Structure 1
Amino acid sequence: MKPKRTGTRRPRDTLARWIALTTLVAMLTLLALNALFSLLAGAWARPPLMETGLIEKIAAITRIIDSVAPEQRPAIARAASDRLFSTQWLQHHEDARLPVVDDPEYSDGATLLRQQLGRPDARIEGYEPSDWPADQPGGRYAAMIELSDHSWVMFSLPARSWGLEEWERNLIIIALILLSAFIVALVATRHLAAPLERFAEGARRFGVDHQAPPIPVVGPYEIRQAILAFNAMQAQLKHFIEDRTQMLAAISHDLRAPLTRMRLRGEFIEDTEQQSRLFRDVDEMQAMINSALEFFRDDARLEHPTAFDLAELLHTVVDDFKDAGSEVAFDGAPRFVYTGRPIGLKRALVNLIDNAIKYGGEPSVQLKAWDDHVEIHILDRGPGIAPEFREQVFTPFFRLEGSRNKNTGGVGLGLSAARATVLEHGGTLALDNRRDSGLQVRVSLPLN
């Protein structure tokens, strides 16, 4: 006996079904609005003939003409004519010169018209513009009513002009189509766009804060699957970052013990020059380890974003360098509110300005605000950096020869840490040589 197959149940809330449902609901809404328009505004837009009062008017004129002598009828017919229609009294039916149709008998409203005339057997004929041949001009609406002496009264109308014009009615129908489509699209897009917006916001938040919580799994099936995949990737990245940080921090910490033993053993070296070289190497390695521990255990990365005055932060950093004896010029707005992690940004800016002081001279800081981002320029008058090294200098522990050497005290982590902080804010950090001489560090931060 074969095992019974169990198929995977298809999810109901999918994008394909929402698109099909949106189209169907838009069509049904259009039909409902059109029916409502015809029901509520039909008499105003294009009222039926019996609701226009025209039949009562024709019946009254016909009764008057039928009640007077034949010689008075042409004058009364002319007097009864107006801008809406013309009235003629005709001795014979042939005088009307109407087209030949299969059934000229008028049916719509004929019963009411006969009641108004008081003659149940009265002959009534009706003609429309389409009854005239295409090669014969003069097509119009016409009504023929036979009088009691078998003469005729003809009422002619060039067009049915009561109510709204055809282009006005079409305009209303188009407006109803657009309205129904807009209403349905608004409801559908709010249902679809809301989870997409939360998805995008969660992705941007994770870009600047790897400790951000997972994105809520809501929305159609395809969007939920994308959110689940992103949350899984986010969890894996967080786990990888934590494991890498702990591993590198542990390695850096464990290196302290052999360095301490090397220093102790160096005390027994009798050669003063060799002992001095060993101690310099140990001190340099100790400085690298301390910098690495500070880099990997950066508490600023756990800092939550907050709104702060970026201009005031730059003023504080510049003043701190001035208090330490280094003149740093500042040019920018006195106040600029930015949302980010102030401790991390301050540490990055201190590293960049410190590099400008050590390796360039005449440091200056500029703050420039745009509609969608803010830029911080740090300028110096040093030798600059060759183009082939402008990306390599961001590699941890990489140091340029010459202007940047181990005698300055740096270990090659300042630019790496600064760029990491800027990238965590969703920004960019770039290096460019100035035209005359010097280096320009451009920090660009997006405005949320």
Structure 2
Amino acid sequence: MSPRRSGAKRPRDTLARWIALTTLGAMLTLLALNALFSQLAGAWARPPLMETGLIEKIAAITRIIDSATPEQRPAIARAASDQEFSTQWLQQHAEARVPVVDDPEYSDGAVRLRQQLGRPDARVEGYEPSDWPADQPGGRYTALIELSDRSWVMFTLPARNWGLDEWERNLITLALMILSTLVVALIATRHLAAPLERFAEGARRFGVDHQAPPIPVIGPNEIRQAILAFNAMQAQLKHFLQDRTQMLAAISHDLRAPLTRMRLRGEFIEDAEQQARLFRDVDEMQTMVNSALEFFRDDARLEHATAFDLAELLHTIVDDFKDAGIEVSFEGAHRLVYLGRPIGLKRALTNLIDNTIKYASEPAVRLETGAGRVEIRILDRGPGIAPEFHEQVFAPFFRLEGSRNKHTGGVGLGLSAARATVLEHGGTLVLRNRSGGGLEARISLPLD
């Protein structure tokens, strides 16, 4: 069924409608600006000889002078002069002292003048200020009309800055067209860009903060539909993460009961060596369960993003290790404002630095910025990690053989948690061996 038959209403605020309205608005604005220009500037936008009513006035004066006697003509010419133009009767063409041009014919108004004069064969000449030589001052607009007795009448209009050539008038029209298009386009793009910018900002915020609120549903219909789809996806992801976290936390919690029963039953084992082995396995499993519960119930994941001083956070972490008697060097800016979750980042950075202290020596932290990103490099001098394990170590519960001893105390969740925190901030965490020995953990975070 068609929308008309089914009673469904098509959305009115759409991108297609805005594009059509933008085009129509640009055209109407151009016409309005052009009309305004013509209204305000009037005949000043054209050469004075083209002014409305001026040709008719010149033709009337010419007819009066032509019908008068030669003795009366100078007085009539003086009387016809006013502020707009001056009139002069000349017995000879040479008295006009006009410049020599290739074609003095007044092509723009000659036909109209001849019609007004009723003399199709009348000679009409027109001159513009540009016809006068550059070294000869006094350039002006001049019209010469031959009378029936071969004498002439000269009309002189002063030159003015607004007398424009045709190409100049066309240039103004083109400028008005561009201006009107830009004005309408800026208004339309502002209306369209604002919801798109909020959409992009909401998407970036969700990448950093999983608890971010939904994006406001505003803008044209297509953009609103995209925002609604994104908000639905965001809600589904949050629901999925919560369900997964609760499920895994419940499993880890339920494992405590059988571990406790195993320890109780182990008390009845008479073989001391077998009992010690069982207790070690139970303790290791208990440690893994506790670590998993801490990982899944990480309160830092519920932390909202906020602006904080990342450099100051690194200084605080380094100072905490110094208070514990461990020297960690630091290089970088003393102040760097960053939008993120400070508790989660502090835990991830502390974990990475703690690994350098456990498995290597000479721990160091470097803070660098550039190209819209901030990089945190955690360095050490030690055996490093074989390249084939650089990605594998980030898998949950994965531990290298060298770390499987009772003194390290790790269960293989530290790097997983650190990378998860960095990924939640839209960044990356990679490992690489250093030349001369040692390992580098490089965190790259985007700067909004």
Instruction: Please state how far the C-alpha of 1:19 moved relative to its aligned partner.
Output: 0.8
| Counterpart for residue 132 of structure 1 | none
Kindly report which structure 2 residues correspond to 1:75-154, keeping only aligned pairs within 5 A, or say none. Answer: 77-83=93-99, 106-107=111-112, 125=122, 144-147=145-148, 150-151=149-150, 153=152
| Counterpart for residue 187 of structure 1 | 187
| Counterpart for residue 324 of structure 2 | 324
Instruction: Please state how far the C-alpha of 1:370 moved relative to its aligned partner.
Output: 2.2
**AA in 1 matched with 2:39:** L
Percent of residue pairs bearing the same amino acid type: 68
Instruction: Please state how far the C-alpha of 1:163 moved relative to its aligned partner.
Output: 1.3
**AA in 1 matched with 2:70:** S
* TM-score, normalisation: structure 2: 0.81
1:314-371 CA distance string (max 9 Å, x none): 1221122222232211112223222221111110011000111111211111111225
Q: Whole-Å Cα distance in 2 between the matches of residues 50 and 327 of structure 1?
A: 89
User: Is 1:284 matched with 2:284?
Assistant: yes
Instruction: Please state how far the C-alpha of 1:204 moved relative to its aligned partner.
Output: 0.7
After superposition, the CA RMSD in angstroms is: 3.6
Q: Whole-Å Cα distance in 1 between the matches of residues 406 and 14 of structure 2?
A: 61
Larger deviation, residues 344-353 vs 34-43: 34-43
| Counterpart for residue 215 of structure 2 | 215
Instruction: Please state how far the C-alpha of 1:31 moved relative to its aligned partner.
Output: 1.4
**AA in 1 matched with 2:95:** A
- Residue pair 2:92, 2:152 contacting (<8 A) in 1 also: no
Change over 3 Å in CA distance of 1:248–1:284 after alignment to 2: same
1:140-196 CA distance string (max 9 Å, x none): x9865433xx43538799xx9981122221221111011101110011001111111
1:91-125 CA distance string (max 9 Å, x none): xxxxx9999x9xx98435965xx6xxxxxx77774
In structure 1, the gaps of 5 or more residues are 87-95, 115-120, 130-140
- Residue pair 1:206, 1:212 contacting (<8 A) in 2 also: yes
| Counterpart for residue 77 of structure 2 | none
| Counterpart for residue 130 of structure 2 | none
Change over 3 Å in CA distance of 1:428–1:440 after alignment to 2: same
Kindly report which structure 2 residues correspond to 1:363-378, keeping only aligned pairs within 5 A, or say none. Answer: 363-378=363-378
* TM-score, normalisation: structure 1: 0.81
Change over 3 Å in CA distance of 1:309–1:49 after alignment to 2: closer
In structure 2, the gaps of 5 or more residues are 73-88, 127-141
Instruction: Please state how far the C-alpha of 1:66 moved relative to its aligned partner.
Output: 6.1
- Residue pair 1:208, 1:424 contacting (<8 A) in 2 also: yes
Change over 3 Å in CA distance of 1:417–1:392 after alignment to 2: same
**AA in 2 matched with 1:187:** I
Secondary structure (helix, strand or coil) at the match of 2:402 reads coil
| Counterpart for residue 401 of structure 2 | 401
| Counterpart for residue 75 of structure 2 | none
- Runs of 4+ in structure 1 deviating by more than 6 angstroms, as ranges, are 52-58, 96-99, 121-124, 126-129, 154-157
1:293-329 CA distance string (max 9 Å, x none): 1111111111122222222221221122222232211
Change over 3 Å in CA distance of 1:5–1:54 after alignment to 2: closer
Change over 3 Å in CA distance of 1:220–1:384 after alignment to 2: same
Change over 3 Å in CA distance of 1:344–1:98 after alignment to 2: closer
Change over 3 Å in CA distance of 1:404–1:82 after alignment to 2: farther
Larger deviation, residues 47-56 vs 307-316: 47-56
Q: Whole-Å Cα distance in 2 between the matches of residues 48 and 404 of structure 1?
A: 101
Q: Whole-Å Cα distance in 2 between the matches of residues 41 and 82 of structure 1?
A: 29
Q: Whole-Å Cα distance in 1 between the matches of residues 120 and 316 of structure 2?
A: 103
| Counterpart for residue 138 of structure 1 | none
- Residue pair 1:106, 1:126 contacting (<8 A) in 2 also: no
**AA in 1 matched with 2:96:** A
Change over 3 Å in CA distance of 1:97–1:398 after alignment to 2: closer
* Aligned residues between the structures: 408
Secondary structure (helix, strand or coil) at the match of 1:212 reads coil
Q: Whole-Å Cα distance in 2 between the matches of residues 322 and 280 of structure 1?
A: 33
- Residue pair 1:379, 1:440 contacting (<8 A) in 2 also: yes
Q: Whole-Å Cα distance in 2 between the matches of residues 405 and 430 of structure 1?
A: 25
Q: Whole-Å Cα distance in 1 between the matches of residues 250 and 175 of structure 2?
A: 70
| Counterpart for residue 415 of structure 2 | 415
